[in-house]
Amino acid sequence: MAFSQFLQFAIAGLKSGAIYALIALGFTIVFAATGAINFAQGEFFMLGGMIGVWLTRLGLPLPAAVVGAVALTALLGALFEVLAIRPIADGDPLRIIMVTIGGSVLIRQIALHVFGPDEMPLQGFTAGPSIMIAGAAIERQTVWIWLITALAVSALFLLYRRTMFGRAMRATSLRRDAARLVGVDTGMMVTVSFALAAGLGALAGLAVAPLTQTAFDVGAGIGVKGFAAAILGGLGNPVAAVGGGLVLGLLESMTAGYINPLYKDAVALVVLLGVLFVRPQGLFGGSGREKV
Amino acid sequence: MTGRSMWSRCVGVAFAAVLAVSMAGCGAAKPTTGDGAAAETYKVGVILSLTGSYAALGASEKNALDIEAKRINDAGGVNGKKLELLIEDDGTDEAKAVAAASKLINQENVVAILGATGTGQSMAIRSEVDRAGIPEISMAGGTAITANFDPLVFQTPWSNTLIVPFVLKKVAADGHKKIALISDSGGYGKDGLAVLKVEAPKAGLEIVSEQTFNAGDTDFSAQLTKVKSSGADAVVLWTAGKEGASIVKSAGDLSVRLPLYGGSGQAKVEFPQGAGPAAEGFIFGTGKSLVPANWGDGSEQFTVVNGFAERYKAAYGSAPDIFAGHAFDALAILEDALKRSNGDTSPKALTAAVEGTKGLVGFGGAFTFSPTNHNGLTAEDLSLYQIKSGAWNAIP
C-alpha cells in the first residue's frame, strides 16, 4: 500500500516533470540564442492547447489539430520575434526580457477576447482505461506525454549535434559576431529558436490539456514553473533542462503527497530561490566550454 | 535621428496605444441598460467573476441579469425609472472584488451591490459595503455569508447549512459509513468543509480523509491517492470552481472507484462536459428549480421558474443553470424592495425594504427575510440529482 502510494506520486511527478522539461527546453533554446529569458514561453503553452481545441471544434480530426496547433503556435512565436524582439537595438537581453513580459500579457488578453474565459476540454489522444502497475495507475495520456517529451528531446539533440543548421545555431549562441563572420544568418537563427521554443511549449500544452483542461490564463503559472525547472537544471544545455524539469516535477509531487498538497505551487519558487542562492549554475550546469 | 529608429518609435507608440486600448476594454464597468441622465435610473452595482476559477458561474449570472434587466426596463422600469446595471469583473479574486466594490461605491454611487459570484469575494467586499451602508445581495452559497451576520448582507442561493445536511442524509441512506472529503481552499470550499465536519457525525458518518486543493491546481494525484488508501466508502466533493470536473475525471483515470457526491457547485453543464464518463452516477444536491418541473405544473413556483427558463432559453439557446437563477433572484429581490420602498434609495430605507421581503417567489424558492435570517430559504426548496449519460435527473 505504501509502495503503490509512493509509485503513484512518482508517476504524477514524472508526468508534470515531462511537461516542465518541455517548457524548460523552450527557455533554454531562446536563452542560448539571445542570452535573454523569454517570459512569454508560458503563453505559447497556453496557445498550443487553446488553438488545438479551436481546431477540433472547427471539425479537424485530433492528429491534424495537434499538428496544426503546434505549427500555428511556432509561426506565432516566429512572428512575435520578428515584430517585437528583432527591432530591439543591439539585441540587449534586458530589453528583450521586458518586451517578452509585455508580450505575454498581450497574448493572454488577446486569448481572453478571442476564446473567452471558460475552461475547455480536449479529448485524450487515445481512449482507454489507465494502465495499472503495482497498484498505481498510469493514465494513457501520461504515456503520450512521456513519448512526446522523449521524441522532442531526441529530435532537438539530433538537430543541434548532427545537422549543419544545428551547428549554426550553436555558433550563434556562442559568439554572435564570429558566427556572422563565417556566414551564419544570425537573425534567422534567433527567429527559428523562438519558433522552436513556441512549438515545444505548444506541444506541452496539447499533451497535458486532455488531463487538465485549458483556459486563457494557464500560461503564467506554467511559465514560472518551467523557468524554475530551467534554472534548476542549468540554463546551458537541453539535457540539463530536461533533468531540471523531471527533478522539479518529482519534488512537487512528493511535497504534495507527503507534506501538504496546498504547498505544491510554492515548491517551484522555493527551488528557484534555493538554486540561485546555493548553486546558480544549476544541478547540471557545467563551465560551458564548447567548440563548434 | 535615423530613419530606422524613427520607424521603431512609431511602431512602439502604436503598439503601446493598441495595448492600452485593449487593456482598457477589459474589466471596465459595462453598463447594460439604462438611458438618459443618472437621475432617471437606479444605478445598481454588480460584481461578477467573469474570469478565473468561477468564470462559468459569472457568465451565467451575467446572462440572467442582462435579459431580466432588459425585461424590467422594457416594461417601464421600477417606479417609472430604469435599472442601470454596472457590471465589474472580480476575476474570482478577493482583492479585485474589493477594488471593484470601492469603484462602484465611490465613483458610481450605486444604490446596492448584487454579488459577488463567490463566497470569498462576497465576504471580502463587506468592509466596503459596511462603510457605505448599502445592501449587498450575494449570489454565493457559503454559510458564513449570512451566518456570520451582517445587517446589510443577504444571499440568494441555498446556503451550505441547508445543502450539506441534505446531501449527507442521502450519503448515509445509501449505506455509507466512512467518507472522504475533497474541498477547495477558497471561501466556498472552506465554508463547506466546516459545515461538513459539523454535520457528518450528526448523519452517522465518519470522516476518514480530508483533502484540499488550491484553485488553479491541475494535478490531483496526491489527494486522490490518499483518498484511495483511506478506506473511505464514498467521496464528498465540495467546490464550485472548474477544478471539480478535473478532479472527478482524474478520479476515474486513477481508478478511484468510489461513489461520488457533491453540492450546488456541480450544477452546471461544464461539470459533466469536463468530467466525461467519470461523472456517471455522480449525485449532488441543489435547488428544485434546476429542473422546473419539480415544482409541479400550475404552481406559482413553476410559473415563475419556468417563465425565466423559457426566456433564458429563447435568448441563449440553453436552459439556465442555478447560478443564472441566483442572479435572477438577486435582481428580483432588489426590484421588489425598490417597489416597496417607493423609490427611496437611501441606504437605510433600501436595506430595510430588502429585509422586509416576504414570500417572494423566485428561483431559489419563496424568499422570506427577517432581522435574523438573511437567506430566506428552507430545505423544502432542495432536491437530489444524479448524472446519467452527461445529463442530470432528479432522484427522490
- Is residue B262 domain-shared with residue B351, that is, in the same domain? no
The pLDDT score that the predictor gives to residue A185 is 85
Residues B136, B276: one domain?
no
Residue B300's closest CA among B366, B253, B210? B366
Residue found under cell 409541479: B296
Question: At CB < 8 A and 24+ separation, what contacts does B74-82 make?
Answer: B77/B41, B78/B42, B78/B335, B78/B338, B78/B339, B78/B343, B79/B338, B79/B339, B79/B342, B79/B343, B81/B40, B81/B41, B81/B42, B81/B343, B82/B33, B82/B34, B82/B35, B82/B36, B82/B40, B82/B41, B82/B42
> For residue B29, what pLDDT is reported?
45
Q: Is residue B145 part of a domain?
A: yes
How many residues in chain B?
Answer: 396
Can you tell me which residue has the cell 482505461?
A129
Q: Please indicate, yes or no, if residue B243 is contained in any of the structural domains.
A: yes
8 A C-beta contact, residue A51 and residue A73: yes
- Is the CB of residue B271 less than 8 Å from the CB of residue B245? yes
CA torsion, ordered B60, B66, B67, B73, to nearest 10 deg: 160
For residue B25, pLDDT over 60 is answered with no
- Indicate whether B187 and B261 sit together in one domain: yes
Q: Is residue B52 located within the same domain as residue B125?
A: yes
**Chain B contact present for A16, CB below 8 A:** yes
Whether B241 maps to a domain, the answer reads yes
Same domain (yes/no): B279, B165: yes
- Are B357 and B285 part of one and the same domain? no
Residues of A in contact with B8 (CB under 8 A): 87, 89
Which residues contact residue B116 at a Cβ distance below 8 angstroms, ignoring those fewer than 6 apart?
B47, B48, B49, B90, B97, B122, B124, B125, B138, B139, B140
Among B22, B48, B57, B218, most A C-beta atoms within 10 A, so best to mutate, is B218
The partner residue sitting opposite B211, judged by closest CB among A137, A139, A261, is A261
Tell which residue, B319, B332, B351, B339, has the closest CA to residue B136.
B351
B173 exposed, middle or buried (CB, 10 Å; 0-12, 13-18, 19+)? exposed
β-pair type (B153-155, B136-138): parallel
Residue A32 CB neighbours (<10 A): 20
Q: Do B226 and A212 touch (CB under 8 A)?
A: no
Let me know whether B249 and B389 are in one domain. yes
> Which H or E run contains B86?
strand B82-89
Does A261 sit within 8 Å of B212, measured CB to CB? yes
Look up the pTM and report it.
0.82
Other CB atoms within a 10 A radius of the CB of residue A90 amount to 6
B21 lies in some domain? no
Cα A18 off chain centre by: 9
Phi, psi dihedrals of residue A254, rounded to the nearest 5°: -70, -35
Domain CATH number, residue B271: 3.40.50.2300
Mean pLDDT is lowest, of A138-147, B2-11, B39-48, B82-91, for B2-11
Which phi and psi angles does B360 have, rounded to 5°?
Answer: -75, 115
Positions of E strands within chain A:
131-133, 136-138
Residue A179, CA atoms < 13 Å, CB-side half-sphere? 23
CA torsion through residues A92, A95, A101, A106, sign: negative
Instruction: Tell me which residue has cell 472507484.
Output: B257
In a domain, B208, yes or no: yes
User: Read out DSSP for B333-367?
Assistant: HHHHHHHHTTT--SHHHHHHHHHT--SEE-SSSEE
> What are the residue ranges spanned by the domains of chain A?
25-220+234-239
For chain B, the residues whose C-beta falls within 8 A of a C-beta of chain A are 5, 8, 11, 15, 19, 22-23, 25-26, 50-52, 55-56, 58-59, 185, 211-214, 216-223, 225-226, 229, 242, 245-246, 249-250, 253-255, 270, 273-274, 276
CA distance B29 to B20: 16
In a domain, B95, yes or no: yes
Task: Say what percent of chain B tops pLDDT 90.
Answer: 68
**C-alpha–C-alpha distance, residues B260 and B269, integer Å:** 17
With contacts defined as CB-CB under 8 Å, which chain A residues touch B250?
211
Backbone dihedral region of B44: left (phi > 0), alpha (psi from -120 to 50 degrees) or beta?
Answer: beta
Q: Assess whether B43 and B99 both reside in one domain.
A: yes
Query: Does A132 reach chain B within 8 Å, measured CB to CB?
Result: yes
> How many angstroms away from the CA of B81 is the closest CA of chain A?
33
CA A15 to chain centre: 13
Give a yes or no: residue B1 inside a domain: no
- Interchain CB contact of A5 with B (< 8 Å): yes
What confidence tens digit (pLDDT) does each residue in B196-209 have? 999 999 999 999 99
Structural domains counted in chain B: 2
pLDDT of residue A8: 92
Report residue B35: phi and psi, to 5°.
Answer: -150, 165
Q: Are A87 and B219 an interchain contact pair (Cβ–Cβ within 8 Å)?
A: no
Which chain A residues are closer than 8 Å to B59 by Cβ? 117-118
Chain A positions touching B87 (Cβ under 8 A) are: none
Residue B8 pLDDT grade (very low, low, confident, very high; cuts 50, 70, 90): low
B5 to A89: CB separation less than 8 angstroms, yes or no: yes
- A208 touches B at CB < 8 Å: yes
pLDDT confidence of residue A213: 83
Say if residues B186 and B241 touch (Cβ distance below 8 Å): yes
Among the partner residues A137, A216, A261, nearest to B253 by beta-carbon distance: A137
Give dist(CA B322, CA B320) in Å, integer: 7
Among residues A24, A15, A13, A23, which one has the least CA distance to residue A241? A24
Residues of A with CB below 8 A from B246's CB? 211-213
Helices (H) and strands (E) counted in chain B, each on its own, are: 14, 15
SS3 B301: helix
Q: Could you tell me the CA-to-CA distances from A76 to A49, A139, A173, A198, B189 in Å, in that order?
A: 14, 31, 22, 8, 39
Same domain, B65 and B207: no
Residue A128 has what pLDDT? 83
- Asked if the Cβ–Cβ distance from B242 to A106 is below 8 Å, we say no
Of B59, B212, B229, the CB nearest to A262: B212
Nearest by Cα to B83 from B26, B35, B27:
B35
For residue B20, the model assigns a pLDDT of 59
Contact assignment for B214 to A265 by CB distance below 8 Å: yes
**Which residue in the block uniquely carries the three cell numbers 438611458?**
B35
B182 and B146, same structural domain?
no
B111 and B40 within one domain? yes
Domain of B252 in residue numbering reads as 161-291+382-395
The predicted structure's pLDDT at residue B36:
30
pLDDT tens digits for range B307-364 = 999 999 999 998 898 999 999 999 999 999 999 998 888 999 999 999 999 999 999 9
What is the amino acid identity at position B144? A
Q: First CA to last CA across chain A, in angstroms?
A: 52
| pLDDT average per 10 residues of sequence, chain A (292 residues) | 88 94 93 88 96 94 94 96 86 88 95 88 86 88 94 88 83 80 86 94 94 88 94 85 94 93 91 92 66 46
Across the interface, which of A87, A119, A132 has its CB nearest the CB of B274? Answer: A119
Q: Determine contact: A191 vs chain B, CB below 8 A.
A: no
Residue B2 lies inside a defined structural domain of this protein? no
Same domain, B251 and B389: yes
Grid coordinates representing B272 are: 459533466
Q: Is A256 on the interface with B (CB under 8 A)?
A: yes
Q: With an 8 Å Cβ cutoff, is A110 touching chain B? A: yes
Helix (H, G, I), strand (E, B) or coil at B390: coil
Cβ–Cβ gap A130/B211 under 8 Å: no
